[in-house]
Structure 1
Amino acid sequence: MRNIKTALAVFICVAVFAMMGPNFNPLFAAVAAVITMESNIEETVESGWNRILGTIIGGAAGMLGIFISNLIPFEFGFIAVIPLGVMGLIYLCNNLKKHGAITIACVMFISVMTTYSQDLGNYMLAGMRLLETAFGIIVAYLVNRFIKLPECDAEKQKDEKSLAAQENISNDSKKMRLSSLIAMILKP
């Protein structure tokens, strides 16, 4: 089921960006949808919040990284900024206890730092990258929340039998404990 939902979320991202025109690239929205989609809605929500937080942190760090790179008088100053930025992002996310945000924060930071030239005019493009990623996260959440696919009957019956077997074991265990307790009380 996760397979189909992930494919649907990616399809929606690609279709929406295709309708917006050739100047829009669905790459980051589709990647975010794949990364965010989990097997149930609770995990998707948790993953989604981590991804949104990581996207914001990584995007802001990328903009800061562009600014710092422009202060370095060497043409390839951004090469030194990128690994230092990644280290800083990992440290920050760990201290915020947001381990699930580390990957997307680093991916966002690296993509902003390497995709766009290090001109001051690219802050708007970095902001667009943030919005593209957020769009993919939201699509993954909505697909996982509202799309319910029918379960396979054989798998459903197997799960029901397994649950019934567990209940029987639990009931037998309770009976055994009760009989042991009664035997201890009545023992001379």
Structure 2
Amino acid sequence: MNLRIKSFIQDNGLIWKTPIAAALSWELAKWGGSNHPYLAPLTVILCMQITISKSIQFAWQRILGTIVGVALTSSVVPFIGLTGWSIGLMILLGSALVKILRLDNIVMSQVTLSVLLVMYFQSKMPTYPLDRIRDTVIGAAVALLTHILIFPPDSVKKAKNDISKFADHLTMYFFKTAQWVEAGCTSMETWT
């Protein structure tokens, strides 16, 4: 019984770890002085992936994209203002920079998202750019620590189950092939 409960808790980790990490990241962002603490749980939600390696990869890409987008926008927007054309220009510059640096498309989406949001909110809330970076780092750190330290996903178990299913499937087709050969390789027989 104890093993079943532990297995249930571990197999459904994303369901219960995400809200715990989101709540914790909100409180840490508020404690850190953020005026926009929703950015930390947003990052938690995005960074909680099915495997630890995917979570680490997404967290890194989100942090990098956010920093690049905020830095680019904060340095250029005071000179060009906020219009639809300036938004388009900044997204183009951010996308081109990501392409020149040969970064991943996820980084590009984080850069362009940061460009848009910082352009819009910076004039209304001057602390937004700093809050965005700080809260993104807080959210990513909380997501990763929660995911890694509290009932980490068991990728080996999943891989073992997948390989077992594949082996069963392959065995069935070998068996059907052998039957087909024994029956004289008739062209009319179909498999499902």
Question: Structure 2-normalised TM-score?
Answer: 0.67
Equivalence map 1:17-28=2 (5 Å): 17-19=29-31, 24-28=35-39
Distance of 1:17 and 1:100 partners within structure 2:
24
Q: Any conservation in 2 of the 1:2–1:37 contact (CA below 8 Å)?
A: yes
The Cα shift of 1:128 comes to 3.2
- Structure 1 segments unaligned to the other structure (5+ residues): 70-76, 177-188
The Cα shift of 1:91 comes to 2.2
The Cα shift of 1:19 comes to 4.3
Alpha-carbon RMSD across the aligned residues, in angstroms, is 3.4
- Structure 2 segments unaligned to the other structure (5+ residues): 1-12, 178-192
Distance of 2:169 and 2:77 partners within structure 1:
62
1:134 corresponds to which of 113, 134, 137: 137
**Deviations along 1:59-102, whole A, 9 cap, x unmatched?**
11121233323xxxxxxx32132111111212222332321111
Cα pair distance change 1:147/1:109, threshold 3 Å? same
Distance of 1:103 and 1:165 partners within structure 2:
36
The Cα shift of 1:129 comes to 2.1
In the alignment, which residue of structure 2 is the partner of 1:87? 92
Residue-pair matches, total: 160
In the alignment, which residue of structure 2 is the partner of 1:53? 64
In the alignment, which residue of structure 2 is the partner of 1:185? none
In the alignment, which residue of structure 2 is the partner of 1:184? none
The Cα shift of 1:112 comes to 1.4
Alignment pair present for 1:11 and 2:23:
yes
Cα pair distance change 1:171/1:138, threshold 3 Å? same
**Deviations along 1:111-152, whole A, 9 cap, x unmatched?**
211112189xx4x6523321111211111111111121698x
Cα pair distance change 1:3/1:87, threshold 3 Å? farther
Cα pair distance change 1:35/1:20, threshold 3 Å? same
Q: Any conservation in 2 of the 1:65–1:78 contact (CA below 8 Å)?
A: no
Equivalence map 1:1-188=2 (5 Å): 1-19=13-31, 24-69=35-80, 77-79=81-83, 80-95=85-100, 96-117=102-123, 122=126, 125-148=128-151, 160=161, 163-164=163-164, 166-167=166-167
Instruction: Give the percent of matched residue pairs that are identical in Structure 1 and Structure 2.
Output: 21
In structure 2, give the amino acid aligned to 1:104. Q
